[in-house]
């Protein structure tokens, strides 16, 4: 459980009065490879971050097989506020049709009609993935 009293007292001025954009990653929200994490704790942590000025959220389809994106999508609907969402492409999904399908699936999970940024998480060929010409990936990203 997140101790919001401690965070409220120690970081409130820093977070709310900073000119630096604040962001948070959501790998743990996918719950894959992590123990002792439940949805209530994830929701509490995301809500706390939002309440303290975090407006950039980093996620990826690989985080819990898309679960992180689902959790973040629900949180964004709760907040009913504009936030910046960054997602990523897996090195196993860098071909033209795979980029399109992965992006559309991310948008569905996030309950959004656009992403603020879409990053190539790991380069083509990483982790034994197929080597895909960057032109294929870029064509999908720019069309």
Residue 63 falls in the annotated catalytic set: yes
Residue in 63, 67, 96, 114 annotated catalytic = 63
The token pair at 126 is 């990483």
Which residues are annotated as catalytic? Answer: 63
């Amino acid at each position: 459980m997140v101790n919001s009293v401690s965070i409220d007292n120690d970081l409130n001025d820093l977070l709310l009065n900073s000119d630096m954009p604040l962001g948070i990653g959501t790998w743990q929200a996918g719950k894959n490879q992590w123990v002792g994490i439940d949805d209530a704790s994830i929701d509490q942590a995301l809500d706390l971050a939002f309440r303290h000025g975090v407006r950039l959220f980093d996620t990826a389809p690989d985080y819990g097989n898309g679960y992180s994106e689902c959790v973040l999508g629900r949180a964004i609907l709760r907040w009913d506020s504009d936030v910046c969402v960054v997602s990523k492409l897996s090195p196993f999904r860098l071909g033209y049709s795979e980029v399109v399908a992965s992006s559309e699936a991310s948008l569905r999970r996030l309950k959004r009609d656009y992403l603020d940024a879409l990053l190539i998480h790991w380069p083509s060929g990483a982790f034994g993935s197929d080597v895909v010409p960057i032109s294929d990936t870029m064509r999908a990203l720019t069309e």
